[in-house]
Amino acid sequence: MALAVGIYVVSQNKKTTDLSRQNELATKEITLDSDSNIPADMDSVMDEAQTEAEAAQDKLKSQAEALNTEIEEHIAKAKDLLNNGDYEGAMKIAQNILSNLDGNSSEAQSIIAQAKKKIQELAQAKLNSVKEDLKGKLPTFGK
């Protein structure tokens, strides 16, 4: 008899729990949109989220354009310095682009390579000049 009473109590507790859950769900009022299964207030939430996402995209696009403009200005300045023989200045600006603005800028890398080549050419020309000058002076050295 005790076993039967225990099962009846457990069964009643489960029924009570199930009824409580059903009542809880039934008392939650959800307004549905006429053409969907989405609650009406979700449409406004979705619209707001879409608006915020579009604003964020616009801001990122604007920042990217500003960054590209800044990079282009620096590239133009570095090219100008390169063309005017200021190889160190050109390399400094190009390195700044790579370090702070665009680590993959092929234009900045190219400017650095061109500047290094010009510096090497100048150094080689100077070395050749010194060699030739010494050749002319060595035969008479000590006479």
Q: Which residues pair with 39 in a beta bridge?
A: 32
Domain interval for residue 81: 70-120
115 within some domain: yes
Q: Are 44 and 33 a contacting pair, CB within 8 Å?
A: no
Does residue 140 fall inside a structural domain? no
Residue 106 three-state SS: helix
Q: Kindly give the residue spans of alpha helices, DSSP state H, lying in 30-139.
A: 40-83, 87-96, 106-137
pTM, two decimal places: 0.60
**DSSP type of residue 26:** H
Give residue-wise pLDDT tens across range 44-63: 888 899 999 999 999 999 99
Q: Identify whether 47 is part of a domain.
A: no
Q: Per the domain annotation, does 127 fall within a domain? A: no
User: Are the C-beta atoms of 94 and 68 separated by less than 8 Å?
Assistant: no
Has residue 131 been placed in a domain? no
Domain presence at residue 111? yes
**Is 92 domain-assigned?**
yes
Residue 21 has pLDDT above 70, yes or no: no
Pairwise pLDDT comparison (136 vs 54), residue with the higher score: 54
Domain count along the chain: 1
85 falls within a domain: yes
Confidence at residue 43, expressed as pLDDT on a 0 to 100 scale: 81
Least confident of 31-35, 61-65, 93-97, 118-122: 31-35
